[in-house]
A and B are shown apart, each in its own frame.
Chain A
Amino acid sequence: MAAHTLNPDSWVDLYADYLFNYAIARVSDAEIAKDLVQETFFAGLNSAKNYKGDAAERTWLIAILKRKVIDHYRKINSNKGKAEVRINYNASSESEGDWLEEQVADPFSKDGDNTIENEELGLAIEDCISKLPKKQSLVFKMKTIQGMSTEDICNELGINPSNLWVMIHRARTSLMGCMNQTWF
């Protein structure tokens, strides 16, 4: 018996932001990332009949998104293939062997590690946010991620500032609990 089932009606609410952050970390463009998420949902819907239920719904969607990201880069590379620049390291005998050092990663550079760690962190936070009640999650995102003013959020959601702060406080308390073991 399948351990997991698909509920496409709740995909956008449950996974859109998680997938969006996953995609944006790989393509560094919000519009492209958004399109990839949409394509992932389409592909998921089209191949729903092949879903066996072995993997969790989100894991399955991430696997589809990974393929979409690869396809995206393949498409880009095939478009600009003719403009590709190749460096010939054997052009001068004096510089022979220099390429080896140039190819070695800079041991003092932490950029790569930081990027990966920040991406993991982002997905961990997103994972915890997805476990919050819908309204708490919405208010937290509007305030913390989108940086909206208290007044604008209250107007948009028809709540008063006291309600807003109670919701944000509860959301943050839950997030601290959810992330406690790994990140605090």
Chain B
Amino acid sequence: MKISIEKAKQICTKSQYGEATWWELLQLNVYLLFSKECSDFSAKNKKLTSLCERAGLDTLSENEKDDMKKKLKELS
């Protein structure tokens, strides 16, 4: 049941994507009860998720980037 703080933080990150298992969530929740460092990290992690959602970020796919690189190379 006992996990390291680094492992707890990693589970916290995984839970931001809804991909932590119930066992991992149980381990995390127990950890959060006793570790202020971990609960601070968890709060920040949640905030980062909400900031990313709010920002509505877009990204170019790797194919689109490769295409851009190719065209730039042709020009140079």
Contact = CB atoms under 8 A, between A and B. Distances in A.
Interface of A: 8, 11-13, 16-17, 20-21, 24, 30, 33-34, 37-38, 41-42, 45-46, 118, 121-122, 125-126, 138, 141, 143-146, 150, 165-166, 168-169, 172-173, 175-176, 179-180, 183-184
A127 to B, nearest CB: 11
23 contacts: A12-B65, A17-B58, A17-B60, A20-B58, A21-B57, A37-B60, A42-B72, A45-B75, A45-B76, A118-B54, A118-B56, A121-B54, A121-B55, A125-B51, A141-B59, A143-B17, A145-B52, A146-B61, A169-B9, A169-B10, A175-B48, A176-B48, A179-B51
Nearest to A166: B10
Interface of B: 9-10, 13-14, 16-17, 19, 44-45, 47-48, 51-52, 54-62, 64-65, 68-69, 71-72, 75-76
Contacts of A184: 44, 47
B57 A126 contact: yes
Contacts of B56: 118, 122
Contact of A16 (B13, B44, B60): B60
Of listed A33, A118, A144, A146, residue having the most chain B CB within 10 A: A144
A179 B48 contact: yes
Of listed A38, A166, A172, residue having the most chain B CB within 10 A: A172
